[in-house]
Amino acid sequence: MNLRDVAADLYGVEPAEFVAARASAAAGADRELAKTIKALRKPTASAAAVNALTRRDPELVDRILQLGDRMRDAFAARDRDAIRDLTRERQRLLQRALRDLGTSPAVGREVEETLQAAVVDPVAAAAVRSGMLVRALESTGVESVDVADAVALPLDEEALAAAAERSAEPLVAPEPTKTRKAAAPQEDRERAPDTGTESASERRERERTIRAAERALERARADAESLDDELDAEVDRRSDLQAERDALERRLQRTEAELAESKAAERALRRRIPELQRAVRDAERALDDARGE
């Protein structure tokens, strides 16, 4: 048994069964491996849905993720017709995936964002293919997708190598022909009038901060949910032990009562021994008299 095999099985179970499955896996491992297994994080609902999809319909997931390479080629060639057709195909496949999952609207949106991020970024695609997501992914369309803390275990070298063979640049739409005004230096385009208006760089930084805070909140909620599950499991275990203790106490009381009865019966029988011994001697003498001895 190794950690990656355990995790591959663990992240394939239903979210409600995760904590119990993790405890069971840890119980059957040596001390060091058990400690690492116990540290595996419970996936969020959307991450668990994506993990389930990769196992239930890997062909559909591959079709969605393979669009990334085709779309990168289309963007590089500035082929607007191909981009438009691939975008429609992507939406069709995403809708099919969501329909098959049957999740709530909120979870469905996170699943769709995760799969779209995987189409955009090869490393995100490798994270999805791992089947061990613990949180949803998202793409800004400008920066590489942040997969930090998104996968239960680091991606293996083969997956990273495959991702490296693809373009690591996020997909962006072909830019229209620039006007003379649009060709101004970048710093001029990003500089907002001095009227308190937020500049483009400030807006991007604020959005990054918001996304980081949202991810931190999602992780905190997942950890809190996992803790609640562990607490429930421990409460159930304590209740079972208390019931077993109560049953043993009742059995002990019955056994002690039976023991007391047995001791009393033993004392009563011992008290009868002298009487029975005298009866035996009297019977022997009566027999001897009858025989004339």
Which tens digit of pLDDT belongs to each residue from 139-165? Answer: 766 667 888 889 999 887 665 555 555
Read off the tokens for 151.
């996968």
Residue 292 CA to residue 240 CA, distance in Å, equals 76
Q: Which band of pLDDT confidence, cut at 50, 70 and 90, is reported for residue 12?
A: very high
Task: Classify residue 292 by its DSSP letter.
Answer: T
Please report, for residues 71, 86, 96, 171, 174, the alpha-carbon distance to residue 92 in angstroms, rounded to integers and kept in the order given.
Answer: 15, 10, 6, 19, 22
Among 52-56, 71-75, 76-80, 219-223, the range with the most confident prediction by mean pLDDT is 52-56
CB 46 within 8 A of CB 114: yes
pLDDT digits (tens, 9 = 90+) for 229-273: 667 667 667 766 777 787 788 888 888 888 888 988 888 899 889
Tokens 């394939």 locate to: 12
Which residue is associated with the tokens 């061990």? 132
What is the spatial distance between Cα 116 and Cα 139, in angstroms, rounded to a whole number?
Answer: 7
Q: What is the largest CA-CA distance in the chain?
A: 152
Rounded-to-integer distance, Cα 135 and Cα 51, Å:
10
pLDDT over 90 (residue 10): yes
Which are the contacts of 51, defined by CB distance < 8 A and separation ≥ 6?
11, 12, 43, 131, 132, 133
| Phi, psi angles (nearest 5°) of residue 15 | -55, -40
pTM of the full structure = 0.56
Instruction: Dig out the tokens for 210 from the structure.
Output: 């918001």
Q: Which of 167-171, 217-221, 242-246 has the highest mean pLDDT?
A: 242-246
The H or E element spanning position 230 is helix 200-291
pLDDT for res 9: 93
Alpha carbon distance 239, 176 (integer Å): 68
Q: What percent of the chain has pLDDT over 70?
A: 74
Q: How far is residue 263's CA from residue 256's CA, in Å, rounded to a whole number?
A: 10
